[in-house]
Amino acid sequence: MADSRPLSPHLSIWKWRVHMATSIFHRISGNALVFAGLTLFAWWLAAAATSKEAYASFAAVADSPIGWIVWVGLSWMFFQHLMSGIRHLIMDSGWGYALGTSKMTATWVFVGAILLTAAFWAVFFFGPGLR
Amino acid sequence: MATDFQSASGLKRVRGLGSARSGAHHWWLQRVTAAGNLVLLIWFVASVLMLPNLSHSGVTAWIAQPLVAVPLILLIFSTFWHARLGVQVMIEDYVHAEGLKLLAFIALNFFILAAGAVATFSVLAIAFGA
């Protein structure tokens, strides 16, 4: 009975387009931010609250090669989700549904996310703070 | 007849097959928490980039300030709530077996509440100097 109900989305009917890529990357980046990002965020806070030793073991993982891959990946996922999230909020207002406009904003989501990620790490390594 | 329709839709709702009547509220909260995340995460990223270092003493001294601890707790509530709403929609889209869907919802809520509680308590512990 439940199986005969119409289901959405239609997972087998699609074609690669920058707009659909923006949509699925919003979901992928969101889940990465939840299950990797928020978990690491909670661990970081808990380690800081527990002891110097607990913080050192977090820092050892965070500063490892795998840790750095995760930070770079998460920062990109963060800016990707931020950009497509802003696009969602703008489209919620009713603007940007014309095909050309939608394609243009979707393209800017990917370009903007990469530019912001690069800018973040530039400030991280060469900015006024952090070392 | 009217009563029959009434009970039929009531039964459907019990089985989780009809409208839960909370879709618009869910949609709206997703947007409100998105706006909260936008403001609080820009503050967080900019603040962390301005810290002199990420050492234990440096980070705990930073978090212990009232005007850091409070926005940090707001950020935890906003992001974890937003995360719960977003992952819920993903489960609804991909998991169609009723039992598995229910288990996924419970696991999601446990994860969000547990990690959120750990994060919130940690900020408070640092702020109150435990």
Structural domains of chain A ordered from first start: 25-120 (1.20.1300.10)
Which is it for the CA torsion A110, A112, A113, A118, positive or negative? Answer: positive
Q: How far is A122 from chain B (nearest CA, A)?
A: 10
Least confident of A119-128, B7-16, B18-27, B88-97: B7-16
CATH for B41: 1.20.1300.10
pLDDT in tens, B53-75: 999 999 999 999 999 999 999 99
pLDDT, position A16? 87
- Total length of chain B: 130
pLDDT, position A6? 67
Q: Is residue B40 part of a domain?
A: yes
Mean of pLDDT over chain B:
90
pLDDT, position B82? 98
Q: How far is B15 from chain A (nearest CA, A)?
A: 10
Arithmetic mean of pLDDT, B4-32: 75
Say yes or no for a CB contact (<8 Å) between A129 and B52: yes
pLDDT, position A8? 65
Whether the predicted pLDDT of B20 surpasses 90: no
pLDDT in tens, B77-99: 999 999 999 999 999 989 989 89
Number of helical (H) and strand (E) elements in chain B, helices listed first: 5, 0
Q: How far is A99 from chain B (nearest CA, A)?
A: 24
Show the low-confidence residues of chain A (pLDDT under 50). 1
Structurally, how many domains does chain B consist of?
1
Q: Is residue B2 part of a domain?
A: no
Q: Is residue B3 part of a domain?
A: no
Evaluate the omega torsion of the peptide bond into residue B52 and state whether it is cis, within 30 degrees of 0.
Answer: no
User: Which ipTM was obtained for this model?
Assistant: 0.89
Q: Is residue B29 part of a domain?
A: yes
Which of B45, B87, B125 lies closest to A49 in CB terms? B125
Q: How far apart, in whole angstroms, are the C-alpha atoms of residue A15 and residue A7?
A: 19
Q: Is residue B10 part of a domain?
A: no
Whether the predicted pLDDT of B11 surpasses 90: no
Arithmetic mean of pLDDT, B37-64: 96
Say yes or no for a CB contact (<8 Å) between A130 and B79: no
pLDDT, position B68? 98
- Token digits of residue B29: 């909260």
Q: State the maximum Cα–Cα separation within chain A, in Å, rounded to a whole number.
A: 62
Give backbone dihedrals phi and psi of B51, rounded to 5 degrees, phi first: -65, 145
- State the residue range of the domain holding B95: 22-127
The tokens 């999601």 sit on which residue? B108
Closest CA to A124 of B57, B59, B45, B75: B45
Q: Is residue B112 part of a domain?
A: yes
